[in-house]
Copies of this chain bind each other. A is one copy, B any other.
């Protein structure tokens, strides 16, 4: 079985893109990072979407459904040669780019040679801490160049890189509240700031660690769930009970595989860990559920099987004097998954991963056509940073 996430470079997941960034930094490769910093009208992807362009013009990741990838790769050569960040506006309504797409969006893309200013971001992701990157994308102030950057950590510390000019303190102070507001959301926005030397526009990019999908089980149905989970951007951990199948080669789509006892499963979690109990063994699932009481931050526990199976477990626990609180019950999802009606292994896996993704994004999974309002949450912050 192949590991799936490198099979289509264009649709690579965000964690896989950061892994590639990490790798290229370690190898001192000259690559260019393209990031959508603003969208007017409609577009396939939102601000914060990223694409990497290698020195030999191979690209990884997506900034549009495909139409801008070539022009962006072309521009990357210029950025690489000039060693200077640059912002380009693509108006998909006109024919400036020779595309004649009939699309409605205007998209601003920041292209920058990857340098040491990425390092606090990679370090934070490694430690599973969120981080906010503030980058100048327009400037009438001669003292602030495009690409000037400050990285803000959770504790409010700022890191500046000697490879990149930094933002004036007044600019950082002006966006600090906005940066704090979107920190840990994975969202991005732009802010216009008036400085004594001229107007500056900054792009604020909240980067959060990957969500984790922890699968407790060691049967074949773990494979399709781990495959889909990895493909859509979860860091997949398989916790295999009983030690029977617990090597990485047993679960090639998992990022990590542990042989564990169900009573210890909470040790593998954090507040970004979505758990699916799929041991197919009533006692093991019960022990794992009990263990997860010690992980109150875990936002989701999917339990494979019908509702009655969970009730059976609850009854047994109640007899032992253990009762779940309303909050603990609320995060248990059983039967696991969205109601897609499919009974094949891949369809069951699709239903599970769709539910986990929806919960991660605070949705409930119904049809978008039945929903009011925009598809994506907009960052509702004044562009002056207020």
Q: Which residues of A from 308 to 339 have beta carbons under 8 Å from B?
A: 308-309, 332-339
Chain A residues within CB distance 8 Å of chain B:
1-2, 4, 7-8, 10-11, 13-14, 42, 44-46, 49, 62, 65-67, 69, 101-104, 217, 219-221, 223-224, 227-228, 231-233, 278, 280-284, 305-309, 332-351, 353-355, 357-358, 360-371, 374-377
> A233-B346, A350-B357 in contact; A102/B49 too (CB < 8 A)?
no
A233 and B282: CB pair below 8 A? no
Interface class of chain A by DSSP: loop
Q: Of B104, B232, B308, B355, which contacts A342 at CB under 8 A?
A: B232
B361 and A338: CB pair below 8 A? no
* Complex: A305 Cα to B11 Cα, angstroms: 18
Q: Determine the chain B residues whose CB is within 8 A of the CB of A346 once the complex forms.
A: 11, 13, 231-233
> A8-B224, A223-B11, A309-B104 in contact; A338/B365 too (CB < 8 A)?
yes
Nearest CB on B from A230, distance (A): 9
B11 and A7: CB pair below 8 A? no
A361 and B374: CB pair below 8 A? no
B358 and A338: CB pair below 8 A? yes
Q: Determine the chain B residues whose CB is within 8 A of the CB of A332 once the complex forms.
A: 369
A375 and B306: CB pair below 8 A? yes
